[in-house]
Amino acid sequence: MSAGFQPLSSIDPAALIEYLGREGNSAEIVQWKYFDSRFNANRERGYAWVKDGRIGGFIGLIPFQVWINGRIAEAAWTCDWSVQDQSGRGTGILLIRQAQEKYEFLTQLGGNDATQRIISRLAAITVNDAGMRFYLPLRLGAILRLARRLLPKVPFDAVNIVNRLPMRLPRKRTPNEIIVEPGVSEALIAILEPEEHGEMYSRYDFEYVRWQVGECPWLFSETCYIAADSKPRAAALI
């Protein structure tokens, strides 16, 4: 039985769609995430362990850049890391090794217990509180559902119209003060590609954000910024 590692660029897209479909991913999402030629720009997007012509394990890579000590380094986030063929003992670590040979920096956030055990053995740096989630309730229903979990017998959120009441009323503004554009506006370019601002930081340029947010089949997005500025100093991507 032949088995070996192959870069995603040599894999038939249909084979990865079938593999990740067993992980609960739709064909549309797999096509967007891994086979967008404009975003890929000839960068390797993952590695597969192939056994007898079928993918038995896979690790996906989302490339980005890191500015470090006056130079730009190629880096990647890991994602969709799994081994479905249980005969491939140790394959998960070997998939990571394949990716390490391609990118100078690999970064990873979250994952299950098995992922954490492997990463803790391989990582040069671990920051346990690096991931932060900010949560702002926009409608009263979010608070009412929380109250119902504390007192399940009281139907706080039973009336739907009450759930939709805003937490705070918007302030009145002049008609031309704010511009709202559908999708990821090119007005963001000036904000996303600033001058050097530190010894080491991640660089997420306009093309990255347009792919990750604007092209994602799961998301609907809008860009808001102040009309008076030709190059806005601040904007909101919603």
Domains and CATH numbers, the chain: 3-122 (3.40.630.30), 137-170 (no CATH), 172-238 (no CATH)
Average pLDDT rounded to a whole number, residues 32-60: 93
Query: Residue 172: its pLDDT value, please?
Result: 65
Q: For the chain, give me the number of helices (H) and strands (E)?
A: 9, 9
Residue 61 has a pLDDT of 96
Q: For residue 172, give Cα distances in angstroms to 136, 169, 175, 226.
A: 21, 9, 9, 15
Helix (H) or strand (E) holding 145: helix 140-150
pLDDT digits (tens, 9 = 90+) for 138-196: 788 878 777 778 887 777 767 777 777 777 766 666 555 788 999 999 989 888 866 66
The pLDDT assigned to 129 comes to 79
Written as six digits, the tokens of 198 are 């530190």
Read off the pLDDT band of 117 (50, 70, 90).
confident
On the question of pLDDT at 52 being above 80, the answer is yes
Computed over every residue of the chain, the mean pLDDT equals 85
- pLDDT at position 163 is 73
What was the pLDDT predicted at 176? 58
Write out pLDDT tens, residues 218-227: 999 999 988 7
Phi-psi region of 183 (alpha: psi -120 to 50; beta: other; left: phi over 0): left
pLDDT (average), residues 3-9: 91
Cβ neighbors of 50 (< 8 A, separation 6 or more) are 3, 4, 5, 6, 11, 56
Contact 139, 164 (CB under 8 A): yes
pLDDT at 214: 95
The whole-number pLDDT of residue 142 equals: 79
For residues 41-64, average pLDDT? 93
What residues are paired with 139 via a beta bridge?
A: 166
What band does 205 get if pLDDT is binned at 50, 70 and 90?
Answer: confident
Answer yes or no: is pLDDT of 22 > 70.
Answer: yes
- Alpha-carbon distance 6 to 1, whole Å? 16
Average pLDDT over residues 188-217: 85
Angle at 99 between CA 95 and CA 102, to 5 degrees: 150
Whole-structure pTM value: 0.77
Strands 105-107 and 71-83: parallel
Distances (CA, A) of 38 to 156, 210, 221: 48, 11, 20
Give CA–CA dist 19/117, Å, rounded.
24
